[in-house]
Structure 1
Amino acid sequence: MRNIEKILSEYNLKISRNKDNFLYIKGKNEDIFKLSQSLSRMRPLDFSVDQRKLIVLIKLLQAKEPIKQHALISDLDISAATIASYLDDLQAFVKGFGLMLIRKRNFGIQLSGNEASKRKALGKFFIQHFHEELIEALFQLDHHRFRYTDSLFLHYFEPAYLNVVQNAVNTELEEKKIDLADSDYMAFILQVYITYQRYSKGYRLQDVDHHSDLEESDIAFVQSVCHRIENEIKNEISELEKQYLAEYFKGSKVQSAESVYDDNVITSRNIKHLIELVSQKINVDLTSDFSLFQGLLAHLKPSIFRIRKNLGSYNPLTEQIKQQYPKLFKVITDVTQRVFKDLSFPDDEIAYIVLHFGASLEQRQSNINLHALVVCPTGIGASKMLETRLRKEIPCITNIEISSIKEMKTKDLDQYDLVFSTVRLPWAKHTYIYVNPLLSKEDVKNIEGYINSYIHSDQKDFREKNVKPIETDFLSGPKTLDNLMDDMKYMYSSISTLLRNLKVYTGLNGEDYRGIIRLMVESCFQQDIIKNVDSIYRRLLEREKIAGLGIPGTNMALFHCQDQGVKKLAFQLGHLDTPFILRGMDEKPMSVRNILLLLAPEELTPIQREIMSLVSSTIIEDNKSILIFSSANEHLIREKLEKSFYQFIKNKILEE
């Protein structure tokens, strides 16, 4: 306050108190105007707490030797207690990335850990604490509204350099027609910038990880981005650095739910188990919601990859989702731990999963028809007003009856889902909701909360009676009779083609399983299922390099291929006389006696993807299914698939 008074005195101003003991600046208007003009030209020296922590983190990341605590205190002009508090917070933050903050007397402060973890920690800190500032900066850069200066943005980024990185990434995303979620897009741009910046200052990746699970398209994308950047800044990075960025990019890509077919049986099985357990916990059956399954499959594949590679993620809606769906958030946190035992899902990833379930529940609620009784003393006047308000504010109440208190005594109240009253009723046997005839906002909120708890209660009869089936959007175009018949005919023809191309080979022998796969591919060529043997055989082996294909807990391996060289859907099985050791989907070696071959054309319709997914999930549906597909008995396998397809078609007809 003394410093403020000193500044004000230069403008003939002073601080005064009013009768309520509030402080205000007293003086002539022209003097106050001069002060405001002077302040507008000043550059503020004070930083926010997050900015100070960021400065400390950057200094620790850039230091090659331990930093003395008094140096940080002097640079930031803060107390020893404050810097100790900042370091405590940073210590907890970096621990999640496998880093250690060393603090020793007569030694100083040092951040210890591998280079990749340091980059991920810095990128996460930027996104977690400066999300809005980054969005604004990237927008201004993209629209040429950023004034390039010598000063650094957020104490780290050179605007011109950041613009080069963003332009390179944007150009490649547009040319390759690739989508990234907003937070993932930003995180990837930051990692590219951080990689080039730290590489140029001599901070290189030390650990050579195995990148066998990277796809060629991901590596090619990063190579193109780096080529564009290096043409501008004349600074190259090594292939190892590019592999690191390709890994990050793979974990950032958005997969359209419609473009996904189940090429990972384990993920599919876990997602189905996840939906089953959540359904049991919240007492709402979501197991038949295919759009929920498809959406989770599209999201969880890159999500699981990010978690396994410790790439980190940021969800700006996490806290809001926790508040909106507190019970669902807790349920899904518990269930994911049970289903994915070897993974630890952070809150940001849990929040994304909650959104999928929340959307499914919201859609379910929008398909509810409720029968309500409105009670008032006379049955006229106020009740009519309330009926009008209910129809407007609570659209899921589709049937409303009005009754006086006298008439209500003769009614069977069990036939109504909800009972509203504008007066206090003299009984406790039946639940009713007391509301204002004008239906206040608080009334609406209470009614919605009651309906939610009612829907999610154990009243199974209520759910079966009132919840309309949720339609899955598997048919494209307007729902005319012609569209419906064409799409149903296409569904039947796809299933018929797959069953017609079902074949089981027995007594197969060879020096290795690759030779047996070659024989199966050659047989597909003879059956006019594929155009070329070599290209399909090569694609199958390339897919195996990306990730193991053995199904854990079985003696089967699922080799699959979606390629322009495939003419028709086909599912074929080869039973080996001698088992071979293959890499499983859990990356562990396993004994395989049955090779399963699933082939599809490159362009698949949504219904064909559902059929492909159904085949994959049927294989590991239960122990009986595993025994059937391991038996090499074509009759039993065909019978099992036919039953699954029968139920599939039946559900589709009912939905439409």
Structure 2
Amino acid sequence: MKFTDRELNLLNLLIMNPTGLKMNELERELGISKRTIFRVFSDIEPELASYTVKINNSDQKYLLMGNGKSLDTLGTEVRLEKSTIQDFTIQQRQNAIAVQLLLANEPIKMQSFALDFHTSNATISKDINALENVFSDYNVNLNRLKSKGISVEGKEFDVRNLAVSIVDSEVNTYEFFKVLASENSLAESQSVTKFFIRILGSAVIRKSYKSIRAYQKTYFKNLSDNSLQRLVIILAVMLRRLEEKQLIQELPPFNHESVLKDQRKTLDIFLKFDSSIKQEISGLEVNYFTLQMQSIDNDYENDADFEKYDLKLSLKVKQLIKMVSEKFNWRFLEDEELYQDLMLIMNNSSVTETREVQKNIEESIEVQNLRSTVRDSIQDSMNVTKLSGWQMEAITNTFITAFSIGVLTRSLSVLVVCPNGIVTAQIIRNQLLQKIPEVGKIKVARTSSLEKMDFDQYDLILSTIDLPGFPIEYRKVSPLLLNEDIESLERFIRTQLVHRKNDVKHELERNENVSFEQFASDVVRSRNLLNAVRIVEVNNIGKSIAEILMMIVGGLSKEIVSDTNEVVGKLLHRLAQSPVGIPNSELGLIHTTSKYVENNFCSIYQLQDPIEFQAIGGEKINLKRIVLLLGKFEMTGLENQIISSISTTVIESDSNIKTFEQGNQTEIRQTIGSKFVQILKSEG
């Protein structure tokens, strides 16, 4: 794309008002400040010159000047690009909003974004809500300022990292370097890559590329195209922030000796800058860019191949995990991710990004005891004098995070293709482990290593970038792993992968030409399943969960369950595998499939005496309601969709959780029924 959304709106206003508009009129219509408007004027001036058009100030009115043909060509281009923006996906729109907020020096009003993306304030408000949760993972806050708009608050280090990750994820590597190779390529066609280049600023991108390219055959000769692209974006974001006097005030702890070795490279690059930029560069800025260079040089070498780790160190780490497990009485030895994270921490004194303690974990007595246990065990099993302060803290935090996630029996192996930096990879890993209990092993890979990999060992492949020509199916996700990504992955995993991975001895075939009789039969079964949904009171005083389930299942007719003991046994086995309580609720979703389930069944059971129950994520909840979901061992494709949709509906949103937790029979049936209707319509 030649113009950003904001530039298009400004140009469209000027095109629609050929006699010109005053500055206060532009401010009012666009919902942005005078200073921002002047910046937009400056940004689009070179592009307008290619049309032989310029912006003129005549009698305090701003208007477009050029011959009739040039203005017509520009008008056609603006209309075309405005229609292209309307075709943005939700993720692309949210990422564009995120970058603009991160790079802004002043609050931006929602009205401005609504105009930019041709949507409503309500839609933009939802986008902001979705971004707010993700921003917090990067320690960046969104502030809503009454009558002023939305601004970003956070350490400059974190703000830059987030901006870099988003731009890098939206930019296609091939097109990125094609754009930089030609001065006029931004004017040739429209694309998402060009749009994000314009948001960041084509001038700073080109300045960055020129500086890096001068050392491409020396300092950066071993970098892949993806890594080189990321380095150019890092430097471009840095230049943009320096121009706006947004400077690094502090950095996370790092290995000063290691940084000192590579500072020469940074200083050589910085010597290429104009004096106006050089005068803004402090020692912190030099260290910042050096650290970013080092993280790209490493490019996951230390994060991927754990077979290369020092055997003595590996034994030390396992000894530490075993000691903490025994003292704290928790199965940390079964957590492969914990071992890998600890190896990464111990093997890299300069790495500063690690799993943080989950924000929803309060310092309970249990967590305090774990913290103390880990520190004592480190003293007993490690040479403490060789550990830095941040390593000690990182080891402790990693154990606490592992405890918070819980040692779940996870079955799915996931490959994440993520050239966006180790911080982003770590956030994606933690989000997957926290929010999708079926996910077990997670491997992060860079694009340059894909050719050597055996994809058959992975059940699911995720990528933060497009992979043109990739030989097998993969799913693209945002590096922010937005709620939409999580919900989509949950639906895909639970409807497409879990049955396969759990070794169900049958294939749920989808017959595209399913008979009318079969469809009608499935509709009747779906209606019967919905009609069976009731809220049943259970007198569970003094009973364990096993006794409660025996009482509930034992009360079902033989038309639903033919062998109570077998079905209850499978339910208890499911509970032993992983927690099924819904966090921050009083609800449990207990489900299984069995050959002794004769007809699919769902109902709600209200406990008279709430019991303590394990929730997903490791926390304890007071269980008041059980959603019991029983599925036949063999189902048609439609039956499988219907029964699977119930579990996804329960956890689809906070409002749905509240409905199943507190709603009456009618409300719950309506919620489930609306999902059934969607499925049946799509099948019919």
TM-score bracket for the superposition, by shorter chain length: 0.3 to 0.5
What TM-score comes out, normalization by structure 1 length? 0.35
Greater Rg, structure 1 or structure 2? 1
What TM-score comes out, normalization by structure 2 length? 0.34
